[in-house]
Amino acid sequence: MGIILGKLAIAFSRFSGRKGTNIGGKIALKFNKHILRKLTANIDEIILVSGTNGKSTTTNIIAQTLSNSKASIVSNIDGANMYTGIVSTLIDNYKLGKNNHYQYGVFEVDEGSIPLVLNDLDKCSLVITNFFRDQLDRYAEIDIIIDKINNAVALKGDDIKLYLNVDDPFCYRLRDYNFIGYGLDKKIDIFKEGTISDSRYCAICGRALQYSKIFYGQLGHYTCECGFNRPNPKYLLSNVSNEALKINNTIFHHHIMGSYNIYNILAAISVLKEMAIKDEIIEKTLVNFKTIDGRMQLLHLNNHQIYLNLVKNHAGMNLTLQEISYLKVNHVCFLLNDYTADGKDISWIWDADFEYLLNMDIKKFFISGTRCYDMALRLKNMGIDEHKIIVNPLFETIIDLVISDNAFIIASYTALWKAKKLLEAKEH
């Protein structure tokens, strides 16, 4: 009953022009609080991907590779990652009267939904990418969210296998469980370190962690007097060159833009290798990887290159600003909204290192969104000439101005969909 009504709600929501990514799940849940258990009953193996940044890309690499290995899979690749979103995805794919069997379910999961989702699954793997401050208006503090995940994982006992980014001391706090580690070799040198870190202090004893190498934020090679030391990971990324990377003793070619994606590729490969997927299939997927919309998406408009990238927090912003410095763009555009899905607290813009922009040759900055003037103040107060900053709350106006030259557009979550629609309409 719940499943049928859920399917109807999704159809109706789409008919009325919305994305329909949560509504089906919300309705179905009214009929069965543990409907996820029923919907996943015939999935042989479930892989969850969570963490602050990189969830979507990691999920997509895993899902696309498994698809290419001819397995039957179901995945929320549209990014609806709350409990209700995952339920909606499954309902949408549900074929009435069939057994709905899949070899694999690969799901991106919002950090806050992990306890609920784990509670409804018997066995699964959980990949954690990293933890950065993000949407603290929903989660209060990173420590609180990690404690909740820790408790939920503890309840699963031997029924859960973790994949942890051991370079992140926050992730490594989950070390007490059955886990596979992945991380970067000390000599990897492709990140700017950045100024603000969430916490480089030991979660166990409170002392400052000793770093022999910092990649970015709190990610690096750390030790602590109390013994909280980064372990050697099972999957070590030891070399990066343009479009290739070496993991343990294997070289993988890829065509995925954005240097920060090496962590996502590494996480995905760790999972796929553990599942005994052949290297050729992994590499073929990486080379033909279809970028998710709005993740370093490149559009061509009137002979100009327009990049579009989703940014949700200061860590993602720092990495994106670093990408911009490698490109030839004259315009940089920020679309900053503060709806629920964006996070109502936009204070993180002051934690990001926009100061990088002072050393780039950007001709003009364009800003829109519900918090456009907050963003304008961020740029102005760090010393960017006010006359170079063009602000307008109307997206349409700003987008028209931005695309008159090579441009990089950075958008918050809800702004991304709007910008994408406007840009793609112009592309055709």
Q: Can you tell me the distance from the alpha carbon of 127 to that of 115, in angstroms, rounded to the nearest whole number?
A: 14
Member of 8, 152, 341, 401 binding other proteins (CB under 8 A): 341
CA atoms within 13 A on the CB side of 217: 23
C-alpha 362/C-alpha 143 separation (Å) is 38
Q: In this complex, which beta carbon is closest to other proteins, that of residue 4 or of residue 196?
A: 196
Minimum distance, C-beta of residue 206 to other proteins, in the bound complex (Å): 5
- Among the listed residues 44, 122, 189, 345, the single catalytic one is 345
Interface with other proteins, residue 397, by CB under 8 A: no
In the complex, the smallest distance separating the C-beta of residue 411 from other proteins, rounded to whole angstroms, is: 12
Q: Is 394 in the site for other proteins (CB under 8 A)?
A: no
Q: Tokens 């999920």 label which residue?
A: 59
Q: Is 158 a catalytic residue?
A: no
Q: Least separation, in Å, of the C-beta of 33 and other proteins?
A: 21
Query: How far is Cα 263 from Cα 49, in angstroms, rounded to an integer?
Result: 13
CA distance 59 to 56: 5
Shortest reach from residue 174's CB to other proteins, in Å: 16
Query: Minimal CA–CA distance to 94: which of 14, 58, 86, 17?
Result: 86
Tell which one of 337, 366, 411, 423 touches other proteins (CB under 8 A): 337
> Which tokens in the block code for residue 375?
């963003």
Q: Which residues contact 90 (CB under 8 A, 6 or more apart)?
A: 36, 39, 40, 74
Q: Would you list the DSSP string of 100-134?
A: --EEEEEEE--GGGHHHHHHT-SSEEEEE------
Residue 88 binds to other proteins (criterion: CB under 8 A): no
Residue 150 touches other proteins, criterion: CB under 8 A: no
71 binds other proteins (CB under 8 A): no
By the rule CB under 8 A, 292 interacts with other proteins:
no
To other proteins, the closest distance from the beta carbon of 92 in angstroms equals 19
Contacts with other proteins by CB under 8 A lie at 18, 133, 136-137, 140-143, 196-197, 199-201, 203, 206, 337-341, 344-345, 347-351, 370-374, 376-378, 380-383, 386, 389, 391, 393, 414, 417-418
